[in-house]
Amino acid sequence: MFYFLSKILFALVAPMSLIIILFLIFAFTKIKSYFWWAFGLLVFFTNPWLSQSVMGLYEVEPIALSKKNQYDAIIIPSGFVSNYNVDGQLRVVFNDGTDRMLQSIDLFKRGISDKIIYTGGADTIFGAYEPEAEMSKTFMVKCGIPDSAIMIETKSINTYQNAAYTARMLEKKDPNFKNKKYLLVTAGYHMRRALACFEKQGFNVDGYSTDPRSIRSKNTVLNTLLPNYGGFQTWTYLVKEWIGLLVYKMKGYI
């Protein structure tokens, strides 16, 4: 229930939702101030230079690793793989954010770690049919990662559960897991909340940021002057993370 309610809360306060609500209020009341507020927010949120500048302040910067940097396991939190049915055949969809899995494959093949932990279940509320971790493991094996090198957790559906359920899984397999060193691979804008969740569960973990959004089309004329949907998308990710941090703090998850 908490998961569903958090999705509803985000939907109501997302930048696009606020603008639509203000335009609808104007349409029904004809009070011009609502129109100008909606228009002003539209200009603000669609400015890509502004959104990327704020994102740059919030994102955790990427780091460089070499083979001398060794970790007991690479951890990949879920949130970018879904699926749908086509005439009885299940088709996997890799959504925005797949960079964290591709970077993890690269890290594995460069010898940073010989183990990958993928944590993510099936988001049945919003349409997934199979646990994300199972689908992604199949893909990674096809990419040359040995089946025996991939451990999966298949019940979690949010970042808190990624951390908590992974900790429970490891406790059963290795009571000494908190004394080992892990590398958490996720998007730079998601890293602060993800690190806080895993550290709360006792993990000794470093962050490896992927999918940097503050550098997309940076320092170009089009990026500075012309409004686009990319600005909206960037603000949407930021608002989601800020709400997540606030709610997780209130719930004691971090």
Residue pair 213/53 in contact by the 8 Å Cβ criterion: no
- Quick one: pLDDT at residue 216? 62
The residue whose two tokens read 């000794």 is 204
Distance CA 40, CA 232 (A): 13
- Quick one: pLDDT at residue 147? 95
Query: 73-210: which CATH number, 3.20.20.70, 3.40.50.620, 1.20.200.10, 1.20.1440.230?
Result: 3.40.50.620
* DSSP class of 215: T
Alpha-helical (H) ranges within the chain are 2-13, 15-29, 32-45, 48-58, 99-109, 132-142, 159-173, 191-200, 221-225, 229-251
Residue pair 137/99 in contact by the 8 Å Cβ criterion: no
Q: What is the pLDDT of residues 25-64, one digit of tens each?
A: 999 999 999 999 999 999 999 988 888 889 999 999 999 9
Q: How confident is the model at residue 126 (pLDDT cuts 50, 70, 90)?
A: low
Average pLDDT, the chain: 89
Domain boundaries, the chain: 2-59+224-251, 73-210
